[in-house]
Amino acid sequence: MECVMGRSNNGRCVLSGKKGLRRRLTGAFLALMTAFLCTGCGEKVEDDRTGAPTELIWWTYTPDGNAPDDLEKVLEAANRISAERIGVTVKMIYKTTEQFELDQTTGEYYDMTFSCDWCNNFDVNAGRGYYYDISELVKTEAPELYSSVDPWWETGTLKGRIYGVPMLKDLGAEVFFRLNSDYFETEKGLTLPEEMSFGELEPLLKAWKEDNPGDYPFYISKGGVAGLFQVHERIVGNYLVIPYSKAGTSEGTRIIPVFDDEEYVGMLRKMHEWYEAGYINPDAAAVEEVPYSIKCPVRTGTAWTGFKGWSDRETIGFNVKLVRFIGPNMSRSTQQGSLIAINAAASEEKAKACLKYMQLMYTDRKFRDTLAYGIEGEHFDYYKDTVIRTAAGTEHYMQDAFVTGPAISASVVSAGKDDTADPEQWDKVYEGYKNARISDTQGFSFDPAPVEAEIAALDAIWSSYASELVTGTLDTDETIKLMRGQMEKAGLEKVQEEAQRQLDEYLEKFR
Amino acid sequence: MKRGKKKNRRIRGKNRSLILLSMPSLIWYILFCYLPVVGIILAFKRYRLIPGKGFFYSLINGSEWVGFENFRFLFLNPEIGKVIRNTLLYNMAFLILGTVIPVMLAVGISYIHSGRIRRFVQISLLLPYFLSWIIVSYSVYAFLSYDRGVVNSVLGSMGIQGFRFYQSPSLWPFILCAVNVWKSSGYMMMLYYARLMAIDTELFDAAAVDGASNFKVIRYIILPELKNVILVMTLLNLGNILSTDFGLFYQVTRNSGSLLSTTETIDVFIYKALMEKSNYGFSAAASLIQNGIGCIILVTANRLLKKNGGGGAAL
């Protein structure tokens, strides 16, 4: 700060002096420049005063740029607990994907940050050295944290060093249809199974369409069917993949263009058939989102077995049943759904405080529930060892559990008193992962640096046609032919070879 | 001697107040136009942050030089020729339409005698200028949506099969031109109208005495008086010949893939290539090309104008 003041004084003095205009302007220019440089690097962390709790700056994720309304109130309650237990408080700052990118790049200061596979990319940032190496520190400073996360540390490890603490939640991808059970089961007398294939949805769509010819049973937005891609592990962008269907075979480590994943393309062809049949809304490729005001009988999403989060009858308007059609499939990217990493620029004291804080998240359920669901009695109530949100909670303190820490150490959420969740839900989910199709890539992550230009060109082509491909708007095979042709000209094969080379090299060490 | 000194001081005082007067915009230009120019080096570096250091420090000390590597992604797009063609053709069309229509409107409005009607027309023409592209995008969508759009329901009531507008690329050059004219011509019209109002009324009186027709008044008085404004505006627009309004080409088309052959412009391509990355080197390279070429064209055109009599040369 001091140097900024000094310079601007100087600037004023030069302006009122009798030197030439050019010199005055140069002075002003320099002053401004220095001011810029200083604000850029001037954000030093203040040393803690003795006795006062250490305050940590914690960046976390928000999809829409807003923090929950009641954040301040809730954080005050959470800070009271953490200050008393470990002498640490936090200041949470909510950021969108774009804000994370920008603030990481400009070197804004934080102590710990949300990081994952699809936002504030963990592998990329850890690879660049942005995150604190906690390999030893976590064992000595937070042994309980270490044992709570065990055996999943590989998720936060890059090149043999630990850079992030996994915030454990669902680790495998399971994709569900959320079906209107009032209509399909009560009215039509069908029985919805726990699990079905994608194609088995067709008779349900047909039945609805016959009863409501003017409506679209499968109302989707330009992103297509949420989670449909979870049949393969994405290696580069959305277009170089390894299908889970090949896991365990000789092709389990062969990277292919997404167009060659028969399971996926088969589902896209079905989508086009359904589009032509009028099951899918004709403007799907141009629609940004499907609001709850559209009462469509079929929605999809990624969740986990036993999840009750989309089942609130009052919000949706009818009773629903979740039917799984993909998964569980597991790879590094599905496991990296949520981590907390510590800033490489943080002092050792701050890093220790961060680890202590995360340890508290994992070991103190009351504290964890406060962060996740708000204040007991105001935002939520306990019922049969689960949490039921109040109206105030739904309205003013609603966010995904992973935003505020590990999901498995928080109480599970019930849809209502007559629709309670299984408090032991997570044990069962993790038990289910024993049957998961697990990728053979052993936690490989692709380093895009050598082919960045090609990837930018490929991303542009992909994003040009993706919405019409994944919504079934255009003929699947023709669109794929077009995309493949353009992408090959832009260097798809070069990127594929580079990725394969990196993967083979990485896998050497496991042989 | 004494008098001379006094005069000198007065001029200096006048200069000082002028300098003070221009200070706010001068500072604005330095902050937002000249200072960021240093960032051009970003286009030739692979930017890496040094944890705990600021942006400039990391840029200068921590990032390696990569030459023209950052420019390469632009030319990897197999459709780049089409993209550049679209950008240039749209800009030409906008340049012509964006001059002819506002001038016609300004002249037309100046012939409306009732002050009340004139103000009403002016304001209703100006209003679209203040709408954001997102709102325009949804309004256009309300007209053109396949199953719920106004156009298709009108066609449907007449027994005509509806169009899939967002899958019909050949219609979009017209739609985009129409939307752009609708949105921007009110604003341009105000500029020309203001200049029109400043024409000496004696000229019109003289024309009336000589019995000149409206057409002749427009041809021999109004257009020559507007010529310089038109030239300056055209010149300024030439500087942006490789840039397009992202909102128009990305939001209004709803990024529909089928339309790309006729709607994708350089800005749209850059956005799609870089939106999921924080690759500021690539973005800097792309805008350096766009603005560099724009700047060269602008300066050349200005020079040509100056050579041919100088009217309208802005620099």
Burial class (CB in 10 A: 0-12, 13-18, 19+), B277: middle
Is A32 in Cβ contact with B30 (below 8 Å)? yes
pLDDT at A64: 87
Please state the rounded mean pLDDT for residues B288-298. 90
Residues 6+ apart with CB under 8 A from B291: B242, B243
B255 to chain A: which residues are within 8 Å by CB?
222, 463-464, 467
Nearest chain B residue (CA) to A28: B27
Inter-residue contact A205 to A216 (CB < 8 Å): no
pLDDT at B305: 82
pLDDT at A503: 95
Please state the rounded mean pLDDT for residues A457-483. 94
Is B279 in Cβ contact with A29 (below 8 Å)? no
Q: Using CB atoms, pick whichever of A41, A456, A468 lies closest to residue B274.
A: A456
A459 to chain B: which residues are within 8 Å by CB?
272-277
Q: Using CB atoms, pick whichever of B56, B76, B148 lies closest to residue A454.
A: B76
Nearest chain A residue (CA) to B73: A453
Nearest chain B residue (CA) to A99: B278
Matching residue, tokens 């994709």: A175
Sign of CA dihedral A186, A187, A189, A195: negative
Q: Residue A290: pLDDT above 90? A: no
Interface test with A, best of B55, B58, B251 (most A CBs within 10 A): B55
Q: Using CB atoms, pick whichever of A33, A101, A222 lies closest to residue B35.
A: A33
Is A37 in Cβ contact with B56 (below 8 Å)? yes
A37 to chain B: which residues are within 8 Å by CB?
54, 56-57
Asked casually if ipTM beats, i.e. exceeds, 0.90, the reply is no
CA distance A258 to A238: 7
A21 to chain B: which residues are within 8 Å by CB?
19
Q: How far is B269 from chain A (nearest CA, A)?
A: 6
pLDDT interval class at A272 (50, 70, 90): very high
pLDDT at B79: 87
CA distance A39 to B54: 8
Task: Say whether A172-332+415-511 and A54-167+337-403 share the same fold.
Answer: yes
Nearest chain A residue (CA) to B36: A33
Is A461 in Cβ contact with B77 (below 8 Å)? yes
Interface test with B, best of A8, A45, A105 (most B CBs within 10 A): A105
Higher pLDDT, A49 or B170: B170
pLDDT interval class at A418 (50, 70, 90): confident
Matching residue, tokens 């109480």: A411
Q: Using CB atoms, pick whichever of B31, B49, B274 lies closest to residue A130.
A: B49
Mean pLDDT across chain B: 87
Is A466 in Cβ contact with B58 (below 8 Å)? no
Q: Residue A349: pLDDT above 50? A: yes
Inter-residue contact A230 to A334 (CB < 8 Å): yes
Nearest chain A residue (CA) to B76: A490
Inter-residue contact A256 to A265 (CB < 8 Å): no
Residue A398's CB is within 10 A of a number of other CB atoms, namely 14
pLDDT at B63: 87
Of A330, A280, A354, A295, nearest in space to A45 by CA: A354
Is A343 in Cβ contact with B77 (below 8 Å)? no
Is A106 in Cβ contact with B255 (below 8 Å)? no
Q: Report the number of secondary-structure helices (H) and strands (E) in chain B.
A: 15, 2
Q: Where are any strands of DSSP class E within A68-213?
A: 88-95, 112-115, 157-158, 161-162, 164-166, 173-180
pLDDT interval class at A14 (50, 70, 90): very low
pLDDT at A159: 85
First-residue to last-residue Cα distance in chain B = 39
Residues 6+ apart with CB under 8 A from B280: A105, B42, B47
Interface test with B, best of A222, A461, A479, A492 (most B CBs within 10 A): A461
Is B276 in Cβ contact with A283 (below 8 Å)? no
Q: Which helix (H) or strand (E) holds A326?
A: strand A320-330
Q: Residue A47: pLDDT above 80? A: no
Q: Please check whether residue B101 lies inside any domain of the structure.
A: yes
Please state the rounded mean pLDDT for residues A5-16. 33
> What does DSSP say about strands A320-330 and A437-438: parallel, antiparallel, or unpaired?
parallel
Residues 6+ apart with CB under 8 A from A165: A134, A138, A145, A149, A156, A339, A340, A341, A355, A358
pLDDT at B13: 67
Q: How far is A507 from chain B (nearest CA, A)?
A: 27
pLDDT at A40: 40
Q: Residue B54: pLDDT above 60? A: yes
Three-class DSSP category at B129: helix
Nearest chain B residue (CA) to A465: B257
pLDDT at A263: 95
Is A459 in Cβ contact with B273 (below 8 Å)? yes
Nearest chain A residue (CA) to B71: A453
Residue A497's CB is within 10 A of a number of other CB atoms, namely 13
Please state the rounded mean pLDDT for residues B297-310. 82
pLDDT at B12: 65
Matching residue, tokens 């490789």: B242
pLDDT interval class at A41 (50, 70, 90): very low
A461 to chain B: which residues are within 8 Å by CB?
77
Q: Using CB atoms, pick whichever of B30, B52, B276 lies closest to residue A29.
A: B30
CA distance A34 to B203: 56
pLDDT interval class at A25 (50, 70, 90): very low
Inter-residue contact A489 to A234 (CB < 8 Å): no
User: How far, CA to CA in Å, does A131 sit from each of A88, A124, A163, B85?
Assistant: 20, 10, 6, 45
Q: Using CB atoms, pick whichever of B57, B255, B280 lies closest to residue A105.
A: B280
pLDDT interval class at A383 (50, 70, 90): very high
Inter-residue contact A328 to A437 (CB < 8 Å): yes
Q: Please check whether residue B39 lies inside any domain of the structure.
A: no
> What does DSSP say about strands A161-162 and A339-342: parallel, antiparallel, or unpaired?
unpaired
Tell me: the pLDDT tens digits for A114-163? 999 889 999 889 988 999 999 999 999 999 999 999 999 999 998 889 99
Q: Residue B2: pLDDT above 80? A: no
- Enter the tokens of residue A194: 């726990």
User: How far, CA to CA in Å, does A39 sit from each of A35, A107, B38, B52, B116?
Assistant: 6, 11, 17, 13, 53
Please state the rounded mean pLDDT for residues A268-280. 96
- Enter the tokens of residue B240: 């942006």
Interface test with B, best of A45, A283, A462, A493 (most B CBs within 10 A): A283
Q: Residue A280: pLDDT above 90? A: yes
- What does pTM read for this prediction? 0.81
Residues 6+ apart with CB under 8 A from B5: none
Residue B170 φ/ψ, nearest 5 degrees: -70, -20
Nearest chain B residue (CA) to A463: B272
State the angle between helix axes of A476-489 and A492-508 in degrees (0 to 180), rounded to the nearest 10: 80
Inter-residue contact B225 to B308 (CB < 8 Å): no
For A172-332+415-511, CATH gives 3.40.190.10
Q: Report the number of secondary-structure helices (H) and strands (E) in chain A.
A: 19, 16
Three-class DSSP category at A216: coil
**Above pLDDT 90, what percent of chain B?**
43
Burial class (CB in 10 A: 0-12, 13-18, 19+), B160: exposed
Nearest chain B residue (CA) to A281: B147
DSSP string, B151-197: HHHHHHHTTPPPP-GGG-GGGHHHHHHHHHHHHHHHHHHHHHHHHHH
B272 to chain A: which residues are within 8 Å by CB?
459-460, 463-464
A457 to chain B: which residues are within 8 Å by CB?
73, 76-77, 273
Q: Using CB atoms, pick whichever of B49, B78, B279 lies closest to residue A456.
A: B279
pLDDT interval class at B35 (50, 70, 90): confident
Residues 6+ apart with CB under 8 A from A172: A304, A327, A328, A329, A330, A334, A335, A432, A433, A436
Q: What is the CATH number of the domain that holds B266?
A: 1.10.3720.10
Is A456 in Cβ contact with B76 (below 8 Å)? yes
Tell me: the pLDDT tens digits for B151-165? 999 998 998 888 889
Q: Residue A2: pLDDT above 70? A: no
Mean pLDDT across chain A: 87
pLDDT at A501: 97
- For chain A, which residues make up each domain, given as ranges? 2-41, 54-167+337-403, 172-332+415-511
Matching residue, tokens 């990485």: A506
Is A128 in Cβ contact with B278 (below 8 Å)? no
Burial class (CB in 10 A: 0-12, 13-18, 19+), B58: buried
Q: Residue A6: pLDDT above 80? A: no
Inter-residue contact A339 to A158 (CB < 8 Å): no
Burial class (CB in 10 A: 0-12, 13-18, 19+), A229: buried
Per residue in A321-351, is it b (16+ CB within 10 Å) or e — as a string? bbbbbbbbbbbbbbbbbbbbbbbbbbeeebb
Q: Residue B266: pLDDT above 50? A: yes
> What does DSSP say about strands A54-61 and A112-115: parallel, antiparallel, or unpaired?
parallel
User: How far, CA to CA in Å, does A263 sit from each of A81, A241, A246, A441?
Assistant: 50, 12, 11, 19
Higher pLDDT, A113 or A464: A113
B18 to chain A: which residues are within 8 Å by CB?
none
Cα B183 from chain centre: 12
One CATH from 3.40.50.620, 3.30.450.20, 3.40.50.1820, 3.40.190.10 for A54-167+337-403 = 3.40.190.10
Q: State how many domains chain B has.
A: 1
pLDDT at B93: 95
Q: Please check whether residue B107 lies inside any domain of the structure.
A: yes
Q: Please check whether residue B187 lies inside any domain of the structure.
A: yes
Range of the domain at B243: 77-275
Q: Please check whether residue B111 lies inside any domain of the structure.
A: yes
Of A262, A258, A252, nearest in space to A329 by CA: A252
Cis geometry, peptide bond prior to residue A151 (ω within 30 degrees of 0): yes
> Which value, in Å, is the radius of gyration of the alpha carbons in chain A?
26
Tell me: the pLDDT tens digits for B72-99? 998 998 889 999 999 999 999 999 999 9
Nearest chain B residue (CA) to A468: B257
Cis geometry, peptide bond prior to residue B173 (ω within 30 degrees of 0): no
CA distance B263 to B256: 9
Q: Which helix (H) or strand (E) holds B227?
A: helix B223-238
pLDDT at B11: 58
How many CB pairs (< 8 A) connect A and B?
Answer: 142
CA distance A441 to A499: 12
